[in-house]
Amino acid sequence: MALFCDVALPVPLDQTFTYAVNGVVPVVGARVLVPFSGQRLMGVVVRVHEDAPVEEFEIKPVQQVLDDAALLPEELMKLAGWIAQYYVAPLGEVLRGMLPLAAEVKRHFSYRIAEQGRKVLYEGAMKGSSRRSKLSVEEQDREYSVLNYLEGGEAAKMSALRSATGANKGLLEGMVRKKWLLREVIAEERDARRLEKVAVLVAEARLPKLNENQTAILAELAAVGGRMRVRDLRLSLTRAGVPESTLGTLVKRGLVVVEEVAEEFHLGGVGAHGKKHAHEHALNEAQMEALGTIAAAMERGGFRPHLLYGITGSGKTSVYFAAMQRALDAGKSALLLVPEIGLTPAMAGQMVAAFGGEVALLHSQLTPDERAEQWHRIRRGEARIVVGTRSAVFAPMVDLGLVIVDEEHDSSYKQEETPRYHGRDVAVMRAKFNEAVVVLGSATPSLESWSNAEKGRYARVEMRARVADRPMPLVELVDMREEFRETGQEQIFSRRLIEETQATLDRGEQVILLLNRRGYSSTVLCRSCGEKIECENCAVSMTYHKPVSGNDAIAQPGQRLECHYCGSRRSVPKACPKCESEHLYFLGAGSQQGEERLQELFPTARIGRMDRDTVRGRSDMERLLARLHGGEINLLVGTQMIAKGHDIHGVTLVGVIGADFALGLPDFRAAERVFQLLTQVSGRAGRGDLIGKVLVQTYHPEHYAIQFAAKHDYPGFVAKEMQYRRWMHYPPFAVLANVVIQSEKLEEATAWAGTLGRWFQKARLDKVRVLGPAAAPIVKLKRIYRFHFVLKAERRQTLGETLRAMLAYAETQEIARRNLVVDVDAVHLM
Ligand code: ADP
Ligand code: ZN
Ligand code: ZN
């Protein structure tokens, strides 16, 4: 009886594909290589069966089975199925995101001598055929060496053949075509622990005379505690224009040594700073109670979701640690999801400090090899504590007992490409399939999670006071309309904020200022006709970035405009592209301008800036945080990055500039976002022994999001916001999907939007509200035109059925699947 297997492939099609089993019978959950429209793709077997497919077209055989056991455990296969169903996403694309990257299936070619080759070798026919051969004599000799080398009959790897005979791939493949050689493809698993180089500052060394570049390297190293990955160091040197050879010089002079150590997470000095680690605190009463609830659920066993609502500074991290320790004690593993490891390196650092070699880290800055390595460590049960970002929710944990989602409200948990899953919600399902306990933690829980707690689906655990009886900071609103009336000037910083900042700096304390826009100016506007300079690829304003004046004093004229969506750049035009007026001016101050202004206002302050332009990777962040912790920086300005969970004890003043920009956006989550941002950034003040203060500059002082944030009243905000959501039939009172129709051709996009619009009308859906078609808020993105529908339904099943029916109809209309983006539980409607 012929055997077949159904394979899920990473292609944007909602179906699996059938292949004939050829030799090795794969198990469900194993990876296979199969031919697919001229390419070779890696897929996952989802079914093995004997039902010969009815279609007349030829069923191709599986080329290679890569795993003899299921690579994905059963509960992850189930989870994949759930995601495909819930988010209306192709199963193969879901599975692709779950596997360690394709890097490890890089095929190794090996070659074996064939009958024909043996004949050639024995007959010594090489010379005889040379007249007919296109090959040079040299190449023919090389072929002969290859045959000689393989004569024993063993297969040899391409790399071995290359070094033994000098043959390259082309030559070997030529011999395969002549049937002199047989080629074999081997997929090797590689997970040997790799070594990496770390530059270490030699502390005792007496400093000889150094040049500027050498000093720069030493300062860089000193700033992060004397140790740094050579890889990271190189990056920042390149950025600073220091030649790479300088490091070598320092090594030669004995000032720096380069060590080889097993690759792991480096703390780069972050984590300690004289403070206790989160796991070293004796828990207070509220923390004990929270831990008690979670631990009891783990003891009982089985699936149990919790919402841990704990205000900023209530010590949630210590509870996570204690709960994870309990999981380990019970012989189970624990998974901690964080929004972005690079932004809160202290969290990962403390995990390593507490759990050492048990920890595996999974995040986007790993290379494919590193990721594969971590993946296998977890799969083998060597790492039972996993800390990672969104996709770590798929870590192949052994005996998973506990899943924690820190800052569960954070929108970075939502994946903005197919499959568009929400890491938090998948974490809950993951825990369900694993019969594990799950904890969603936040000071500002999402309305979805809060409502689940209200309904009793999640157990609610609360920590409503800061540790050590620290008070919440006082929040003061500064009405910027009044400020303008009184000063007659549009200023970034109000007089009140300047005054408080000066006073705080004078007391030797630290200040953080949130200016949630990067760049110098967010818009270039024509004063004559009102035209904004837009990106040529996207329907958005371009941001002005002031060139950083280098060492030479000559001002650079090239004023750079940058699109924050597609990254394209151009220079500021001489005149308005529409009316040719030369009166172009800049509008909307960003963090870069904020920094410049602060330098004028506080010339003696030690100012730092934290945004995507100054923080590119984890090491930048660590360095900046180390400088803050050490007091080297006493005034920090930055975008929402500064609002993340940093725990800097010297900060007593937080200033907020324009956190309410977002209130004007066409997005039903705008108020929730503003409330979250204000609460999170306010939470950075007064975390040490001194009481903190927050000044919020706003044009909407009466807005409820701002009012409730000023009073630290999350429950109050939620009650109000829930009313609005209920009236408007928005989540959590309805389920929602955003459907985007996209095409590079405007006519195509509009025509398809019309086609689907008519279908929605005809379908007369009484259980689904359809808004649209409308131009998407960003109608053109990366040269692609976008229209959208927003679908709202009371029941999830109705929504799913409607979306599937729409996709089926679209297929009959020859609208390709890749032109339709289905975003279930969309977080951004842009
Ligand atoms: P959250 O994440 O809830 O905002 P953190 O977990 O960052 O708060 O804790 C805030 C600060 O309190 C940290 O400096 C932490 O080390 C400290 N801390 C935690 N638990 C205790 C405790 N029981 N006693 C004293 N300090 C604590
Ligand atoms: Zn103009
Ligand atoms: Zn653009």
CA of 277, closest atom in ligand 1? 16
Q: Report the alpha-carbon distance of residue 96 to residue 102 in Å, rounded.
A: 9
pLDDT at 332: 97
Helix or strand holding residue 441 (H, E): strand 437-442
Q: Report the alpha-carbon distance of residue 92 to residue 84 in Å, rounded.
A: 9
pLDDT in tens, 655-682: 999 888 888 777 899 999 999 999 999 9
Give all strands (DSSP E) within 457-515, no chain letters: 459-463, 474-479, 510-515
Candidate from 270, 281, 321 with most ligand 1 atoms within 8 A of CB, to mutate: 281
175: left (phi over 0), alpha (psi -120 to 50) or beta: alpha
- pTM of the shown model: 0.81
Residue 526: nearest ligand to its CA?
A: 2
> Is 5 labelled as part of a ligand binding site?
no
pLDDT at 740: 97
CA-closest residue to ligand 1 atom 23: 283
Helix or strand holding residue 598 (H, E): helix 591-601
Q: How many residues does the chain have?
A: 830
Mean pLDDT, rounded, for 573-597: 88
pLDDT in tens, 83-120: 999 999 999 999 988 886 554 455 567 888 999 998 88
Helix or strand holding residue 447 (H, E): helix 447-454
Q: Report the alpha-carbon distance of residue 658 to residue 114 in Å, rounded.
A: 73
Q: Is the pLDDT of residue 555 over 90?
A: no
Q: Report the alpha-carbon distance of residue 265 to residue 618 in Å, rounded.
A: 11
Q: Report the alpha-carbon distance of residue 65 to residue 47 in Å, rounded.
A: 14
Whose tokens are 């199963």? That residue is 91
Mean pLDDT, rounded, for 405-432: 96
Tell how strand 181-187 and strand 195-201 pair up. unpaired
Q: Report the alpha-carbon distance of residue 371 to residue 391 in Å, rounded.
A: 11
Residue 528: nearest ligand to its CA?
A: 2
CA of 589 to the centre of ligand 2 (A): 21
In short, whether 360's Cβ falls inside 6 Å of ligand 1 is no
Q: How far is CA 191 from the centre of its chain?
A: 24
Cβ proximity of 685 and 511 under 8 Å? no
pLDDT in tens, 246-294: 888 888 888 888 887 655 544 333 444 556 777 788 899 999 999 999 9
Helix or strand holding residue 233 (H, E): helix 230-240
Candidate from 466, 472, 647 with most ligand 1 atoms within 8 A of CB, to mutate: 647
Helix axes 158-165, 169-177, angle to 10 degrees: 110
Mean pLDDT, rounded, for 591-613: 94
Return all residues near 631 (Cβ < 8 A) that are at least 6 apart. Answer: 510, 650
Cβ proximity of 474 and 324 under 8 Å? no
How many other CB atoms are there within 10 angstroms of residue 85's CB atom? 13
Which carries the bigger pLDDT value, residue 785 or residue 373? 785
DSSP 736-781: EEEEEEEESSHHHHHHHHHHHHHHHHHHT-SSEEEEEEEEEEEEEE
Tokens of 665: 């956006």
Q: Report the alpha-carbon distance of residue 292 to residue 794 in Å, rounded.
A: 36
CA of 287, closest atom in ligand 1? 23
Mean pLDDT, rounded, for 483-509: 94
Cβ proximity of 297 and 437 under 8 Å? yes
Q: Report the alpha-carbon distance of residue 309 to residue 175 in Å, rounded.
A: 67
Q: How far is CA 119 from the centre of its chain?
A: 57
Cβ proximity of 120 and 175 under 8 Å? no
